[in-house]
Every structure is written in structure tokens, then in C-alpha cells.
Structure 1
Amino acid sequence: MRMPAMGEIFTHRLRVRYSECDQQGVVFNAHYLSFYDVALTELWRAAIGPYTDAVETGYDLVVAEARIRFREGARFDELLDVRMPVVKLGVTSMIVQPEFRVDDRLIADGEVRHVFIDPAAKGKKEIPPDVRLALEPYLAEPDLGGAGPAG
């Protein structure tokens, strides 16, 4: 497996399917969180391995908060790049500020906060050391002018 450079931003590319577009001819807003989920799974696979291994080894991730700011609509058959800057690895949580782009056009951006949990007890759990180590190369500076919290 190739080791990422420190500060590397993982990017997953997908093609917009016709069924993902609404009557205005652009991607229906709810699909962006689904696109994010696909990109997170691929980031996980690249950094750590199959996501199913997480639950089997005693931890899972849940979404605690998600915000998406829509700038412009992606359209059928366009290639959409989902950039996944990890901007915080806390004790029990991580924050990703995804960007959705078609070429140089910023389509949407946002912030998603995940909490690590024990899948059996459903309570918060510290980020496992091996997971933290695998995700650290993907840490990026947070975009404080973007969709992140003020102050």
C-alpha cells in the first residue's frame, strides 16, 4: 500500500448518474451526503482497510453532525471529485470538510463530524491508535472561511 504524503487530501471521483438528478437537471441535494459516504468508505479503504474490519475489531463511526453548503449544481454525466480533507482528529471524534468539485467549479462544501463508538455498548470510544496513525497523513488545515463553525 502506498503511504500518503503528510497533508495529502484524499479525493474520490464519481460520475453523476441520471437517476441522481432532479427536475432542474442537477444533482438532488440529498445525494451529496451519499456521495460523501462513498468517498469516506474509499478513504477508509485506502488508509486503513475494509470498513467491515472496524466493527469486527470493536469500533464504529457515527455521524454526529453534517452541514452541506450548495454553490452550484452538478449535472448528469459530469465527473464529480469529492475531496476529503480531515481537519481534526480529537479524542473520540474526527471532522472532515468535504468539497465537491467538477473541474475547477466548487459545487458544494461542508463539514461532517463523526464520533467513534463501541458498536456493542453504543457509547463513545477513543480513536484506536492504529486508526489515528493511519489517518494522520490526511490531516489538513481547517478551512475557517468555509462551512466550519464561526469563532
Structure 2
Amino acid sequence: MGEIFTHRLRVRYSECDQQGVVFNGQYLFLYDVALTEWWRAALGSHVDVLEQGYDLVVAEARIRYRDGARFDDLLDVRMPLVKLGTTSMIVRPEFRVGDRLMADGEIRHVFIDPPTKRKREIPPDVRMALEPYLVDAAE
């Protein structure tokens, strides 16, 4: 099993809805924050990535809501990488407060050439940096 990157965030008041839980739309924003930090840890800053001639975009996103994280909760965003294809990767994020699962899902990213926005193969150095995070999808 590969290493699963996890980023911890504290839920802010502004991320909650009138029901007192994290607003459903915020989960993709929180995912993006965790992805940015994972990327920084594995590959450097986003500016470095762009200067090397690639970027990644979200092609599909699905989130299942299971419980409600609340203001001031410490929310761990786990980022299991379950597929590293030729031009895309799939992450199955888990949003947890302690051992309670708040939400989970599946996000597919496609690597692109920034000027043309056309998909491109995952660069070899990126593949090498991400392979330690690849987990068995059945786990």
C-alpha cells in the first residue's frame, strides 16, 4: 500500500451553512486545498509545475455526504491515489473528523499542456513523484 497524503484543516464558521454543518459545496474547495498542499509536498509550487509545461484540471468529481463536519472541527482530508494512468489520475478523497467519515468521493484529473489546454501524458518526473502515493483501489 502506498503512502496516503493527509492534510488537516480547521473548519471555519464561514464554511458552514444554516444547519450548522459544512456546506456541501465547500468539500470540493477543501479538497482543492489538500491537493495543493499534496502537490507542494510532492512536486513543489504550482508556479514550478506551470513553468515545466504542464498542469492538471478536474474532469470528473463525485462526493458522497455521510455526516456533517461542524465549525471548529479538525477535518482530515485523506488523498488516496487509486489510479495513475497515461494522461489522468484518480483520487478518492476521504473527509474525516477523528474516526468519523464526513464525506468521500472520487475525483479524476487530466494532465494538460497549459497554452493549448489539450491533454498530455503525465511527465515522467511527475509520475515518479506520485507513484509512492499509489494505493490498491480495492483497499
State TM-score, norm by structure 2: 0.97
Q: Per-residue CA shift, 1:4-23, capped at 9, x if unaligned?
A: xx601000000000011001
Does residue 19 (structure 1) correspond to residue 3 (structure 2)? The answer is no
Displacement over 6 Å in runs of 4+ = none
SS at match of 1:46: helix
- What is the aligned counterpart of 1:94 among 89, 92, 96? 89
- Measured in 2, the distance between the counterparts of 1:69 and 1:136 equals 26
CA contact (8 A) 2:43 2:49 kept: no
Name the structure 2 match of 1:133. 128
Task: Name the SS for the 1:7 alignment partner.
Answer: coil
Amino acid at match of 1:118: D
Hey, what's the Cα distance between the residues in 2 that align with 1:18 and 1:59?
35
Equivalent pair of 2:78/2:94 in contact (CA under 8 Å): yes
Instruction: Write the mapping of 1:35-46 to structure 2, written as runs, cut at 5 A.
Output: 35-46=30-41
Secondary structure of 1:123's aligned partner: coil
- Is 1:62 the counterpart of 2:57? The answer is yes
Kindly state the Cα deviation for residue 102 of structure 1 after the two structures are TM-superposed: 0.1
Hey, what does 2:73 align to over in structure 1?
78
Identical counterparts, % of pairs? 78
Give the AA of the match of 2:31.
Y
SS of alignment partner, residue 89 of structure 2: strand
**Aligned-residue RMSD, C-alpha:** 1.0
Q: State which of 3, 6, 15 in structure 2 corresponds to 1:8.
A: 3
Q: Secondary structure at the match of 2:107?
A: strand
Give the CA deviation at 1:143: 4.5
- Normalised by the length of structure 1, the TM-score is 0.90
In the TM superposition, residue 57 of structure 1 has moved relative to its aligned partner by 1.1
Q: Which secondary structure does the structure 2 equivalent of 1:67 belong to?
A: strand
- Code of the residue aligned with 1:24 in structure 2: it is Q
User: What is the number of equivalent residue pairs in this alignment?
Assistant: 139
Displacement of 1:121 in angstroms is 1.0
Structure 2: gaps (5+ residues): none
AA aligned to 2:11 is V
Q: Tell me how far apart the structure 1 counterparts of residues 52 and 115 of structure 2 sit (CA, whole Å).
A: 11
CA distance in 2, matches of 1:106, 1:51: 29
